[in-house]
Structure formats: C-alpha cells, structure tokens
C-alpha cells in the first residue's frame, strides 16, 4: 500500500482537529446556545461599541435541533476522513458545501435581514475561515497525488 503524501497527512490532521472542534461545538450549542448569541451581542454592543443592533435570543429550540444535528454530522464526516484520508477524501466536499452555505447565508442575512454582529461572527470569523482552510488543505492533498503532467492546464 502506498504511503500517504505529506499533504494527505496534513489533511488527516486537520480533520482530526475539526472532529474535536465540531464535536465541542455541538455540545456548546446544545448546552450554551443562548449564551453564545448573548456573548456575540455583548462583544458587539458593550465592548466594541459598534452601532449594530443586538440579535434577539430565540425563545424556542427548533433551530437548536437542526444546528446540533449538523454539527454532529460534520463531526462524523471529519472523523471518517481522518481515519482513512485516501479512501474518504471525497467526503471533504460535504464539509465544504456545509461551510460555504452557512457562510453565504449568514453574510447575506447581515446585509439583507439585519446587521447583527452574530451573523458576521458566524460567517467572517468562523465558518468562512473554516471553509478556506479546509479548501486549501483539500486541494493540496488532491494535487499531491497527481503526476506533474496531470497538473498542467490543457492547451
């Protein structure tokens, strides 16, 4: 069996980190979801003194079930990729779709709903960077398996 390339090992390491990060995120949203939103509001309004309105805290748990479900799903995806990066690398596309979607929806909501700092927090400071970092590591891992002639653009 061929050894993993350095880039594949790096992607596997990133996926192990994401597994823990998203796993803790699922627990954090489940147990402290309101506190997370409140903290974003507090940071924006009280600490930074930005003129952005505070996001209202939800009174129901409908979105919480969907949020925790997604976090558990992407935690599982990252775990599968980390366990066998070569076989399961294709699963990375699902993580990328998830993070790109949440980034674009939250950023759109900031401009077309209300300019809540929590939308920026979720898109620009969390899911957006996760998307970019994962995309870079994924592309490097895929490219590391290609021969030099496969990397050349078609003429």
- What are the extents of the domains in the chain? 6-145
Confidence at residue 151, expressed as pLDDT on a 0 to 100 scale: 61
Confidence at residue 50, expressed as pLDDT on a 0 to 100 scale: 80
Tokens coding 146: 């290609």
65 and 142 Cβ atoms separated by less than 8 Å: no
Q: How far from 138 is each of 77, 124, 142, CA to CA, in Å?
A: 14, 20, 6
Per-residue pLDDT 10s for the chain (155 aa) are 589 999 999 999 999 999 999 999 999 999 999 999 999 999 998 888 888 999 999 889 899 999 999 999 999 999 999 999 999 999 999 999 999 999 999 999 999 999 999 999 999 999 999 999 999 999 999 999 887 766 666 55
Confidence at residue 154, expressed as pLDDT on a 0 to 100 scale: 55
Confidence at residue 55, expressed as pLDDT on a 0 to 100 scale: 95
Pairwise CA distance, residues 74 & 58, whole Å: 24
Tokens coding 114: 């209300």
Burial track 136-150 (b if 16+ CB lie within 10 A, e otherwise): ebbeebeeeeeeeee
Global pTM? 0.91
Confidence at residue 48, expressed as pLDDT on a 0 to 100 scale: 84
């Amino acid at each position: 069996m061929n050894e993993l390339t350095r880039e594949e090992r790096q992607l596997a390491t990133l996926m192990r980190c994401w597994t823990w990060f998203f796993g803790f995120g699922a627990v954090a949203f489940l147990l402290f979801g309101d506190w997370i939103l409140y903290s974003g509001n507090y940071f924006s309004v009280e600490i930074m003194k930005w003129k952005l309105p505070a996001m209202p805290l939800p009174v129901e748990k409908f979105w919480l079930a969907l949020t925790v479900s997604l976090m558990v799903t992407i935690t599982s995806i990252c775990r599968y990729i980390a366990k066998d990066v070569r076989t399961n690398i294709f699963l990375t596309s699902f993580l990328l779709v998830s993070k790109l979607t949440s980034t674009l929806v939250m950023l759109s909501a900031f401009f077309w709903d209300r300019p809540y700092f929590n939308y920026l927090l979720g898109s620009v400071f969390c899911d957006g960077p996760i998307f970019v970092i994962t995309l870079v590591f994924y592309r490097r891992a895929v490219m590391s398996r290609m021969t030099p002639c496969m990397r050349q653009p078609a003429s």
